[in-house]
Amino acid sequence: MKKMLMATTAAALLATNAFAAGHAKEVKLGILIGFTGPIESLTGPMAAGAELAMKEVTDSGMLLDGATVTPIRADTGCIDNGLSTSNGERLIAEGVNGLIGGDCSGVTGAILQNVAIPNGMVMISPSATSPGLTTVEDNGLFFRTAPSDAREGEVMAEVLMDRGVKSIALTYTNNDYGKGLADAIESNFKAAGGEVTIVAAHEDGKADYSAEMGALASAGGDILVVAGYLDQGGLGIINAALDTGAFDTFGLPGGMIGDSLPANVGAPLDGSYGQIAGSGGEGIEKLTAMAGDAFDATSPYTPESYDAAALFMLAMQAAGSMDPAEYAGKILDVANAPGEKIYPGELAKALELIKAGTDIDYVGASAVELIGPGESAGTYRLIEVKDGKNETIGFK
Amino acid sequence: MDLLNAFIALSNYVIVPAMAYGSQLALGALGVTLIYGILRFSNFAHGDTMSFGAMVTVLVTWLFQSWGISLGVLPTALLALPFGILGTMGLVLATDRMVYRFYRAQKAKPVILVIVSLGVTFILNGLVRFIIGPDDQNFLDGERFIVSARTFKAMTGLEEGLAIKTTQGITVVTAVIVVALLFWFLNRTRTGKSMRAYSDNEDLALLSGINPERVVMITWLIVAGLATIAGVLYGLDKSFKPFTYFQLLLPIFASAIVGGLGNPLGAIAGGFVIAFSEVTVTYAWKKVAGYVLPDSLAPDGLLQLLSTDYKLAVSFVILLIVLLIKPTGLFKGKSV
């Protein structure tokens, strides 16, 4: 009798525990991006985008039978490997189930090597674009909703050719991102028959850029392509070029696209052009409508951030687990065809379909299509500066 | 005509920018060298004193702009400059009273004062960011160019343009005036002479009745003026961003040491040596050579001695060579 009683109590306890676990289950997603540093003007909307997706899923109550999703923000400083690694460790200690981040390519590599791989944690970066990350040894833990700069190099070369540019001078910010992008632009533009007169590095945050400008101007070229950061040396280079009259028109890759550049440079920037990862169409329109006035959904890498968060949660649902080792393999499945197309705002429907065993093809806000080792195939928004504003003139 | 084009190209990309940058460095190095000569330590807080002075000037400039006061073609910041200097004078006197005086009374070793000044650097750094934020601030108004590249080409019909920015002109002119005033003060006035006496031999100066606290105070006041002027000129010419002033510290110290620490003439020479070496050694001579040489000899390559990646290395190599061959600097300063 006594034994029987104990057995029933134990069973009841177990049952309550299981019941409670089903309801109180909490998925934590770390948002590890540069809230300070060279792209601090972009990260606010990025984090808001990711959190929007989490709120949508929590509200639906569909994930893993009613789990809530909690975001935890942490800073990378964009260029500070020490800071990013220690903040990554902190997130692991707080028990996150996935890492959205990093943002800039250098710190993303550092977080991957020092935090994600040793701890078996999955990372989806919304904005790291260095080609080096394509071939990095990642144990199947690293994905990105941003395309590689190798692709941006192709797009930029096409844009230049379409506009009849014959020769370019090229300067890049001296880090993983700048070097990778500059290499991609140079090789693609040369392959298309263009001439690259000089490739010169510049350091961010330096006192004076006249030396760089002297070399760039002497080499000459139809336009100056600046593969840098808009809040940093890229701005200094453009100002120096305009001051000396060396170049009037600039090619602006992703790191140079943002509202602060036309605002800081003013009228002389009109007519410069470039491109940034991003897509038009249904996905982004839906996200913009959902974001309302809360944040700017068209801000660079914000759609990618929403998608990164969504992919985590969909993969968890598909694996029926929030353990990185189990859901990592499902990310490519939910992101790619075949299956029913899923747009922003339809995450509840997607979770339901997955539960019912139907395949989905997550399109999301940035037309997600993961290729190779798990990176976005890449659609680019073409930008031209008109009347002191970045105007979207097409997609490629 | 080709020779003229070559000369204009060289002026536009080397001489004019290096003159302006050199003047900014020289003014900064003068402040560092005065502190070293009279208070006998390397003041690492100088970069951030510049940034503080520039910040006060920026704020006053915005106030004037909102009142509609302007100087016409000249930047309003020049009008706000005296207020910036006053603010900075208050700041340096306060730090001297609160921090440096304590260590001076202890007769602390120079190396301790250097570390103390590093602490002051970080506090000022935080203060400036706290007040105005870490971003770029634009406070330039008035006419942007004295001669712009486009008008120069139209005027002369040459292929090469020459641009001289208003701020570059102002920088050089102001630097000349300030340096002349400083030398007049140091060499001709009683106070200036007592400062030099104190710098040459502290004990002897004390014996002859020079009040050390007064000398220290006047030194700080002059340094505050120099730092603010250098900071504002730099901010007008490039842009005001607190972080870059911290970076500016390295070339400023290089200038002061190359010229000879403690020697004002050396600080000026050092500023120009560093600025010109950064720009010329990494300059690509292709364009100039293309004009000077006959077509058959025109170069295909860039004719660049060193890639611009090494521009900082250049100033430090010069620094090393000077320290090896003439440890007291180009002009006889104090050995470290």
Cβ neighbours of residue B99 closer than 8 Å, sequence gap 6 or more: B116, B119, B120
Query: How does pLDDT run across A260-296, given as a tens digit for each residue?
Result: 888 888 888 999 999 988 777 788 889 999 999 999 8
pLDDT lower than 50: segments of chain B:
336
- CB proximity B332 to A under 8 Å: no
Domains along the sequence of chain B with CATH: 2-325 (1.10.3470)
A210: nearest CB among B241, B279, B287:
B279
Cβ neighbours around B306 below 10 Å, total: 14
- Judging contacts by C-beta atoms under 8 Å, the chain A residues touching residue B140 are none
CA B121 to chain centre: 17
- Judging contacts by C-beta atoms under 8 Å, the chain A residues touching residue B302 are 198, 215, 218-219
- Judging contacts by C-beta atoms under 8 Å, the chain B residues touching residue A198 are 284, 302
Residue recorded with tokens 């903040």: A87
Residue A307 burial (CB < 10 Å; 0-12/13-18/19+)?
A: buried
| Crossing angle of helices B242-259 and B212-237, rounded to 10° | 120
Q: Give the DSSP letter of residue B74.
A: B
Angle, CA of B273, B275 and B276, to the nearest 5°: 65
SS3 category, B53: helix
Cβ neighbours of residue A99 closer than 8 Å, sequence gap 6 or more: A29, A30, A32, A88, A91, A111, A115, A116, A121, A122, A123, A124
A245/B14 touch (CB, cutoff 8 Å), yes or no: no
Tell me the shortest Cα–Cα distance from B37 to chain A, in angstroms. 26
Nearest-angstrom CA–CA distance, B19 and B268: 11
Cβ neighbours around B260 below 10 Å, total: 25
Residue B271's H or E segment, with its range, is: helix B264-281
Q: What DSSP line would sit under B303-327, residue for residue?
A: -BSS-GGGHHHHHHHHHHHHHHH-T
- Judging contacts by C-beta atoms under 8 Å, the chain B residues touching residue A231 are 135-136
- As a whole number, mean pLDDT of residues A332-357 equals 92
Q: Is the ipTM of this complex over 0.90?
A: no
Nearest-angstrom CA–CA distance, B112 and B104: 10
Tell me the shortest Cα–Cα distance from A123 to chain B, in angstroms. 30
Tell me the shortest Cα–Cα distance from A244 to chain B, in angstroms. 5
Query: Are A116 and A128 contacting, i.e. CB atoms less than 8 angstroms apart?
Result: no
Tell me the shortest Cα–Cα distance from B202 to chain A, in angstroms. 36
Instruction: Please tell me which residue of chain B has the smallest CA distance to A265.
Output: B138
- CB proximity A10 to B under 8 Å: no
Query: Are B199 and B106 contacting, i.e. CB atoms less than 8 angstroms apart?
Result: no
- CB proximity A246 to B under 8 Å: yes
Report pLDDT for A1.
52
Cβ neighbours of residue A90 closer than 8 Å, sequence gap 6 or more: A74
Query: Are A96 and A61 contacting, i.e. CB atoms less than 8 angstroms apart?
Result: no
Quote the pTM value: 0.75
Q: Give the DSSP letter of residue A205.
A: T
pLDDT tops 60 at residue A20? no
Nearest-angstrom CA–CA distance, B181 and B144: 27
Tell me the shortest Cα–Cα distance from A211 to chain B, in angstroms. 4
B163: nearest CB among A174, A201, A245:
A245
Angstrom distances, CA of residue A389 to CA of A225, A243, A258, A263, A382: 19, 21, 9, 8, 13
Chain B contact probe: residue of A79, A210, A238, A247 with most B CBs at under 10 A = A210
Report pLDDT for B336.
47
Query: How does pLDDT run across A309-325, given as a tens digit for each residue?
Result: 999 999 999 999 999 99
B282/A214 touch (CB, cutoff 8 Å), yes or no: yes
Residue B272 structure tokens: 């120009």
Phi, psi of A360 (to 5 degrees): -125, 160
SS3 category, A160: helix
Rg of chain B over Cα atoms, rounded to whole angstroms, equals 21
Residue-wise burial string across A147-164, b where 16 or more C-beta atoms lie within 10 A, e elsewhere: bbbbbbbbbbbbbbeeee
Query: Are A318 and A354 contacting, i.e. CB atoms less than 8 angstroms apart?
Result: yes
Angle, CA of A257, A259 and A265, to the nearest 5°: 90
Query: Are A40 and A34 contacting, i.e. CB atoms less than 8 angstroms apart?
Result: yes
- Tally C-beta pairs within 8 A across A and B: 101
A218/B287 touch (CB, cutoff 8 Å), yes or no: yes
A208/B238 touch (CB, cutoff 8 Å), yes or no: yes
Strands (E), A261-388: 273-277, 340-342, 360-362, 370-371, 375-376, 380-386
Nearest to B283 by CA among B6, B10, B25: B10
- CB proximity B288 to A under 8 Å: yes
B136/A244 touch (CB, cutoff 8 Å), yes or no: no
B17/A200 touch (CB, cutoff 8 Å), yes or no: no
Residue B168 structure tokens: 């570059």
Residues paired with residue A223 on neighbouring β-strands, in sequence order:
A168
A244: nearest CB among B163, B247, B288:
B163
Query: How does pLDDT run across A102-117, given as a tens digit for each residue?
Result: 899 999 999 999 999 9
Report pLDDT for B2.
82
- CB proximity A242 to B under 8 Å: no
Nearest-angstrom CA–CA distance, B131 and B65: 19
Instruction: Check residues A14 and A207 and name the one with the higher pLDDT.
Output: A207
Instruction: Please tell me which residue of chain A has the smallest CA distance to B285.
Output: A218
User: End-to-end distance of chain A based on CA atoms, in angstroms?
Assistant: 75
Nearest-angstrom CA–CA distance, A125 and A307: 10
Query: Cis omega (within 30 of 0) on the bond before A338?
Result: yes
Report pLDDT for A385.
92
Chain A contact probe: residue of B13, B19, B302 with most A CBs at under 10 A = B13
Query: Are B183 and B264 contacting, i.e. CB atoms less than 8 angstroms apart?
Result: yes
Query: Are A300 and A390 contacting, i.e. CB atoms less than 8 angstroms apart?
Result: no
- Judging contacts by C-beta atoms under 8 Å, the chain B residues touching residue A264 are 136, 138, 239
- CB proximity B295 to A under 8 Å: no
* Length of chain B measured in residues: 336
Ramachandran category for residue B173: left, alpha or beta (phi over 0 → left; psi -120 to 50 → alpha): alpha
B286/A218 touch (CB, cutoff 8 Å), yes or no: yes
Residue A44 burial (CB < 10 Å; 0-12/13-18/19+)?
A: middle
Nearest to B49 by CA among B211, B231, B177: B231
Nearest-angstrom CA–CA distance, A66 and B317: 65
- CB proximity A210 to B under 8 Å: yes
Report pLDDT for A4.
57
Nearest-angstrom CA–CA distance, A71 and A310: 12
Q: Give the DSSP letter of residue B14.
A: I
Mark which residues 138-177 of A lie under 8 Å from B by CB: 174
Query: How does pLDDT run across A216-255, given as a tens digit for each residue?
Result: 988 888 999 999 888 778 888 998 898 888 898 999 998 8
CA B123 to chain centre: 22
B165: nearest CB among A211, A213, A243:
A243
Domains along the sequence of chain A with CATH: 26-147+281-376 (3.40.50.2300), 150-276 (3.40.50.2300)
